[in-house]
Structure formats: structure tokens, C-alpha cells
């Protein structure tokens, strides 16, 4: 007898019902998931809803490769526009059309002129204004109904090239519930509209035809093949005047491989295949529109309809930008210009009045951004390696082969810079912090200082809960490491250094100590007038000197003479930018009173920067001790 299933414990989300059914029989011990209460039994898998046929020779698409771009056909001005809460006005439509021609699209669906006066007027505007380039063909969309075909042809009068696109839903549920016609009657209706189209195009050689069996992916394969082959014959398709059979996944119903099987079956069974352009029109209901389109291309599709950034009904049409850049990152020319992705995005956002999300592939504000410390470290090293490799090859970085961890595309190729590639928050590590200081402020921190400063940044990010910008990083670095050496309690002025003999240097300066606490380790009571760690009375100055094998060694010797026990453990310096006159930055890790502190200095004089770095470490040690 099975043990009773314990009732789920209350959660912070009372509207959710934590699955509490039995663990399915045969589940591995590492998978404790339980049966849920959602009524999944109401739905049938795709293979029970429609017959999925494959060719007798078996599947060919899994081993195929996409080696050239398909014909891209944006449908933003029709399919995308009809999905907007506020459809585009003529000015925004024209702006989007001009963008698409500038990007290199050669076939553009521009409207549904038989459905609205606004669409009819826009088609006429393009025709009468001479706005359509000589190598661009426009597509006009209409239901396959004879009463709508004539107005569709009226809209394209004067255009030298056009595609008249007929559509009808062919899937059983649509036939029975929406249209109310059985297979034969529906085919007769389609062929009546197709015949009228052929008659109206008799003396217009620039007009071609397209047919979409809407909801193709839920239509019986024998029926859709019968309808499409019938239209191929009716329109007398030929290689020099091919017809387009556009096979939409109007509503996604299955994994992308199922759609690929459906497309490959049509590809191998369509009549006059060399006179047919096989087109696809995936939607994104399951979030796999891009995958459906790519697998369909492997299966024989030659043309793809979609929208820029995936606008469209419900979850949208397939995103042509993502598809094109996916090809680009495989070394295939997408035959579109996407080199200023932000201008394209701004224009589409303006026309649609919808934002492109920050995580949208390629175009979102955050897609080239890394917050994770390990990712930042890998990207920073990858970019440095890329620059070195370009130099070795003798080519500009923009022409060198691209292999940088976590960045599938060079942001510069689509008009982005590297500013937003690495950003810092509480999840970031020392690599990202160091990269931003180097790229924005010219500071190349030693490895041990990166670790030290990353703790400072982590504390600030945890306290604020916000992103730390490059300016914030600079302010933190200056406040933590630079300021203590410039205006801390212990300062050195009027200093001089000289090489008194080979390998022997002397350093003299005036020390000022603003603190009035006892020297470290002296046992003197507070308030005796001695500075912390110096023999200088608080608020007064004393002249000191020291010697050593270099100016900094002589300076630390002078400090020891004044009661400051300091020893330099690590030192580095570099110019912050190329060329004479650039500032130098020095970093010093110093042991003071048995512990180590980092300091930094910045000045056009390397020696001044170095002295300040040591003073910064000393002053930080005193501040931390108190």
C-alpha cells in the first residue's frame, strides 16, 4: 500500500499550487518532481492533431547546412501593423518602408489594401510617389475571395513589379468552425480567386502570385499538397515566372523538427519544383520561431517572411534580424546591412511604438553586457588576445577572425562599442572592475590590487543594490587609493632627491602630520603631541632625510627616521595614455606596522606619483587602525 502523499507546505504565493502528486514510476532518484494539478490532459500532442509525413528516403534536413541567405520578406507593414494597438500612420509606414529598402530587402509586403482604406492609400502613395526602388518588389495581401481580388489589383496600378498574395486558412478546425466549408468547397473558392487573379494579370508581366494555406502546420499534408499543386498548374508557373507557396506555422504547435519534417515533405512533393519558391512564415507561440525558420531552411525553404525584432500577432512573427545575424555569426553573408543596429532598433521602436527588450538577441541594450565576474575576466582576456592576434596578422582588429569568450559577435560589427560589454554590480569580480578602470580611465591595476579594490566595490554595490558605473568606479578608486596620498594627515612637501653615488640615492622632505595621537608601538598616551607613527608634533612640520638604492627606498628610509615603519612589498607604475605629457600612475603595496595596505598616486611626474602612492598606503593604514 502506497504511503499517503503529504500535503504541500504553505508558500508565500497562495495562488500557486505546488505540485503534490506522486513521483512518476521509474523516475530516477535525482529527480523528485511530483505530478501537478494543471489540466494538461485537455491538450493533444501535435502528432495526434495532424499527420506528419516524411519522405520515403528519410530525413535529409538534419545533415544539411545553410550556406546562403534566403530571400527575406519583411511583413511589418501588414502582419506587424495589424498587431499594433495603435496602427502606424502613413508617415511611420513610409519611414519603415524606407528603412527596409536601405537595409537591402528586395521583396517587402506593404499592406492589405482590400481590407482598409488606410492600407489601400499607402500602396497608392508608394506607387504614385516613385518610392519603390527599381530592384524591389512589393507584396500585397488579400484573402482568397473573388470580391477582394479586384480592389487588390486596383491598388497596385502603375507598379512595374508586384506579388499578389492570396491566403485562406486550410486546417480542419478553421474549415469547420470559422469558414464553414469542406475540403472541396474551400479549394473551389481558392481557385476562383486565383483564376480571377490570373485574368487581371494577363497583360501585366510584372505581377506574380503567392498563396498561403494559413495554419499549414495543422493541415492534412495530402490536402495542402493538392491545393498548392492545383494553383501551380492554374497559374502556369515557370522558372522565369515562379509562384510562391508560403507555408505558415500560423500558430506554433510542436517542436521545430516537426515543422522541418512538414516543409521537407512539401519540398520533395511539390509539382514543378523549379518553378516554385518555397516560403515559410513562422510565428513564435512556443518561443521557437527562429529555430523553426532555420530548420525549415535546412529542409528546403528558400524564402522567409517575418518582422524586424519579431513584432506580430500574439507572441509575434519570426524575427528577421535575429535570423540574419545568426547566419552572419556562421560566416554567411545575410545580404542585409545591420551595421547600425541601434538606428534600426530606434526606427522600429518609433514606428511600432513598442520597445525592443534589453535582452533581445543582438539588439537589446544588455545583450553584450557581462556582470558576472568570471564572464568579465574571460571577456577582458579575450579582447586583449584578439588585439594581439590582429597585430600578429598585420590586420586591423575589425578584420581579424573573431573568437572572444561569451561574445558570439563583435559588437563593433553592428555599430556598438565596447563600453557596455562589461558592467559592474554586486555579482561582478575583479576582472570586470579592472577592465572598466583600464578602458575608461587608463588604469592597469596589478593583480593583487584588483583583488583588494574588488572588495571595496563589492561593499559599495551591496550597500547600494545598484549597478556601479565607470564613473562610480573612478570615484571609489580615487577616494580609496588616490586621495589619502594627496590630502591625508601625513604629507611630504618641499622634497628633493639626488643620486649621490652610483646606486646610492638621497631623499629629503618636510613631513607634516595633522593627527595628534601617539606613535604606533611607542606606548605614549594619546594627547602627548606626537603624530601617529611619526615623531612629528601634530600640526607641525619637520625636515627629514633618508638614503637608499633608489628614490623610493630613500623616501621610506626618511619615513622610518620619522618613526614610520614602512616597507614597500610591491610596486608598479605606467602611463595612463600614450604620448608625452600623459599622467603616470603608481601603485605601492606597503607593509606598515605588521600589515599591508595598497596606495596609488597620479601625477605627470612618475616620482611624485610614487611618493603619493607610499603616503596613501601609510595614511590608509592609520585610518584603518583607528
Confidence class of residue 171 from pLDDT cuts 50, 70 and 90?
very high
Confidence class of residue 430 from pLDDT cuts 50, 70 and 90?
low
Best CA proximity match to 262, nearest among 448, 49, 425, 73: 49
Domains and CATH numbers, the chain: 57-352 (3.20.20.70), 373-478 (1.10.287.1400), 482-625 (3.30.160.270)
A 10 A CB-CB count for 436 gives 27
Judge contact between 203 and 246, C-beta under 8 A.
no
Give me the pLDDT at residue 435, please. Answer: 78
Give me the pLDDT at residue 6, please. Answer: 63
The answer to whether the Cα torsion of 190, 192, 197, 202 is positive or negative is positive
Confidence class of residue 3 from pLDDT cuts 50, 70 and 90?
low
What is the reported pTM? 0.79
C-alpha distance from residue 389 to each of 382, 405, 438 (Å): 10, 15, 20
Which residue do the cell numbers 517572411 mark?
305
Report CA 440 to chain centroid distance, whole Å.
22
Express as a percent the part of the chain with pLDDT over 90: 77
420 against 542, higher pLDDT: 542
Q: Which letter, b or e, does each residue of 317-351 get, where b requires 16 or more Cβ atoms within 10 Å of its Cβ?
A: bbbbbbbbbbbbeeeeebbbebeebeebbebbeeb
A 10 A CB-CB count for 582 gives 13
Best CA proximity match to 601, nearest among 573, 625, 560: 573
Identify the three-state secondary structure at position 424: strand
Give me the pLDDT at residue 462, please. Answer: 84
Q: H or E stretch including 248?
A: strand 243-249
Q: Which letter, b or e, does each residue of 62-79 get, where b requires 16 or more Cβ atoms within 10 Å of its Cβ?
A: eeeeeeebbbbbbbbbbb
Question: Can you tell me the distance from the alpha carbon of 620 to that of 598, in angstroms, rounded to the nearest whole number?
Answer: 8
Weakest-pLDDT range from 180-184, 517-521, 591-595: 517-521
- Mean of the per-residue pLDDT values of the chain: 91
The answer to whether the Cα torsion of 529, 534, 538, 544 is positive or negative is positive
pLDDT digits (tens, 9 = 90+) for 6-47: 666 788 999 999 999 999 999 999 999 999 999 999 999 999
Sequence-ordered strand ranges (E) for 390-515: 490-501, 504-513
Which residue do the cell numbers 601634530 mark?
538
Which residues, at least 6 apart from 129, have a Cβ–Cβ distance to it below 8 Å?
A: none
Question: Can you tell me the distance from the alpha carbon of 213 to that of 235, in angstroms, rounded to the nearest whole number?
Answer: 16
Give me the pLDDT at residue 425, please. Answer: 56
pLDDT digits (tens, 9 = 90+) for 238-252: 999 999 999 999 999
Radius of gyration of the chain (CA): 36
Q: H or E stretch including 567?
A: strand 566-575
Q: H or E stretch including 167?
A: strand 162-169
Confidence class of residue 626 from pLDDT cuts 50, 70 and 90?
low
Best CA proximity match to 254, nearest among 217, 203, 213: 217
Mean pLDDT on 300-316? 97
Partnered with residue 277 across adjacent β-strands are 244
Give me the pLDDT at residue 524, please. Answer: 36
pLDDT digits (tens, 9 = 90+) for 328-356: 999 999 999 999 999 999 999 999 999 99
Give me the pLDDT at residue 135, please. Answer: 97
Give me the pLDDT at residue 522, please. Answer: 37
Sequence-ordered strand ranges (E) for 478-565: 490-501, 504-513, 541-548
Bridging pattern class, strands 595-603 and 584-592? antiparallel
Give me the pLDDT at residue 424, please. Answer: 59
Confidence class of residue 422 from pLDDT cuts 50, 70 and 90?
low
Partnered with residue 281 across adjacent β-strands are 248
pLDDT at 325 over 90: yes
pLDDT at 200 over 70: yes
pLDDT digits (tens, 9 = 90+) for 519-564: 433 333 333 223 344 555 556 789 999 999 999 999 999 999 888 9
Weakest-pLDDT range from 1-5, 66-70, 99-103, 157-161: 1-5
Amino acid at each position: 500500500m502506497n504511503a499517503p502523499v503529504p500535503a504541500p507546505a504553505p508558500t508565500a504565493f497562495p495562488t500557486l499550487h505546488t505540485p503534490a502528486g506522486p513521483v512518476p514510476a521509474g523516475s530516477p532518484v535525482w529527480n523528485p518532481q511530483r505530478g501537478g494539478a494543471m489540466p494538461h490532459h485537455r491538450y493533444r500532442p501535435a502528432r495526434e492533431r495532424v499527420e506528419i509525413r516524411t519522405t520515403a528516403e528519410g530525413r535529409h534536413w538534419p545533415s544539411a547546412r545553410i550556406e546562403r541567405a534566403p530571400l527575406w520578406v519583411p511583413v511589418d507593414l501588414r502582419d506587424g501593423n495589424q498587431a499594433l494597438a495603435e496602427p502606424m500612420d502613413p508617415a511611420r509606414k513610409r519611414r519603415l518602408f524606407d528603412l527596409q529598402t536601405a537595409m537591402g530587402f528586395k521583396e517587402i509586403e506593404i499592406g492589405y489594401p482590400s481590407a482598409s482604406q488606410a492600407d489601400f492609400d499607402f500602396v497608392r502613395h508608394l506607387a504614385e510617389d516613385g518610392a519603390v526602388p527599381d530592384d524591389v518588389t512589393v507584396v500585397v495581401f488579400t484573402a482568397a475571395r473573388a470580391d477582394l481580388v479586384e480592389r487588390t489589383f486596383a491598388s497596385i496600378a502603375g507598379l512595374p513589379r508586384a506579388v499578389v498574395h492570396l491566403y485562406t486558412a486550410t486546417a480542419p478546425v478553421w474549415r469547420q468552425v470559422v469558414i464553414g466549408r469542406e475540403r472541396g468547397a474551400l479549394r473551389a473558392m481558392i481557385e476562383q480567386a486565383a483564376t480571377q487573379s490570373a485574368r487581371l494579370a494577363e497583360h501585366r508581366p510584372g505581377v506574380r502570385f503567392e498563396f498561403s494555406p494559413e495554419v499549414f502546420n495543422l493541415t492534412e499534408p495530402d490536402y495542402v499538397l493538392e491545393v498548392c499543386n492545383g494553383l501551380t498548374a492554374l497559374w502556369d508557373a515557370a522558372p522565369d515566372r515562379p509562384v510562391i507557396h508560403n507555408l505558415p506555422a500560423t500558430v506554433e504547435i510542436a517542436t521545430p523538427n516537426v515543422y522541418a519534417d512538414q516543409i521537407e515533405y512539401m519540398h520533395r512533393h511539390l509539382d514543378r519544383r523549379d518553378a516554385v519558391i518555397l516560403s515559410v512564415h513562422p510565428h513564435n507561440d512556443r518561443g521557437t520561431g527562429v529555430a523553426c525558420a532555420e530548420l525549415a531552411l535546412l529542409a528546403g525553404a528558400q524564402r522567409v517572411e517575418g518582422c524586424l525584432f519579431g513584432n506580430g500577432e500574439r507572441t509575434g512573427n519570426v524575427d528577421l534580424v535575429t535570423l540574419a545575424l545568426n547566419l552572419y555569426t556562421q560566416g554567411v553573408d545575410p545580404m542585409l546591412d545591420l551595421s547600425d543596429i541601434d538606428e534600426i532598433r530606434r526606427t522600429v521602436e518609433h514606428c511600432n511604438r513598442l520597445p525592443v527588450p534589453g535582452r533581445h538577441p543582438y539588439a537589446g541594450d544588455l545583450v553584450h553586457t557581462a556582470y558576472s565576474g568570471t564572464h568579465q575576466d574571460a571577456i577582458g582576456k579575450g579582447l586583449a588576445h584578439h588585439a594581439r592576434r590582429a597585430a600578429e596578422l598585420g590586420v586591423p582588429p575589425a578584420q581579424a577572425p573573431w573568437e572572444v569568450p561569451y561574445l558570439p559577435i563583435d559588437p563593433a560589427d553592428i555599430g556598438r562599442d565596447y563600453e557596455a560589454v562589461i558592467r559592474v554590480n554586486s555579482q561582478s569580480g575583479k576582472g570586470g572592475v579592472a577592465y572598466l578602470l583600464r578602458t575608461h580611465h587608463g588604469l592597469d591595476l596589478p593583480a593583487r590590487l584588483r583583488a583588494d579594490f574588488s572588495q571595496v566595490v563589492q561593499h559599495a554595490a551591496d550597500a547600494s543594490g545598484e549597478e556601479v558605473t565607470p564613473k562610480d568606479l573612478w570615484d571609489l578608486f580615487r577616494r580609496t587609493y588616490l586621495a589619502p596620498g594627496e590630502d591625508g594627515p601625513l604629507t611630504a612637501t618641499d622634497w628633493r632627491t639626488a643620486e649621490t653615488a652610483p646606486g646610492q640615492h638621497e631623499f629629503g622632505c618636510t613631513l607634516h602630520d595633522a593627527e595628534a595621537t601617539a606613535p604606533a608601538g611607542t606606548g605614549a598616551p594619546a594627547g602627548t603631541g606626537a603624530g601617529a607613527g611619526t615623531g612629528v608634533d601634530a600640526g607641525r612640520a619637520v625636515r627629514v632625510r633618508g638614503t637608499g638604492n633608489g628614490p623610493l627606498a630613500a623616501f621610506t628610509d626618511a619615513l622610518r627616521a620619522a618613526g614610520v615603519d614602512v616597507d614597500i612589498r610591491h610596486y608598479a607604475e605606467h602611463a595612463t595614455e600614450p604620448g608625452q605629457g600623459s599622467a603616470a600612475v603608481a601603485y605601492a603595496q606597503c607593509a606598515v606596522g605588521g600589515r599591508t595596505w595598497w596606495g596609488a598616486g597620479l601625477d605627470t611626474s612618475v616620482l611624485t606619483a610614487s611618493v603619493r602612492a607610499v603616503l596613501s598606503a601609510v595614511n590608509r593604514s592609520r585610518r584603518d587602525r583607528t
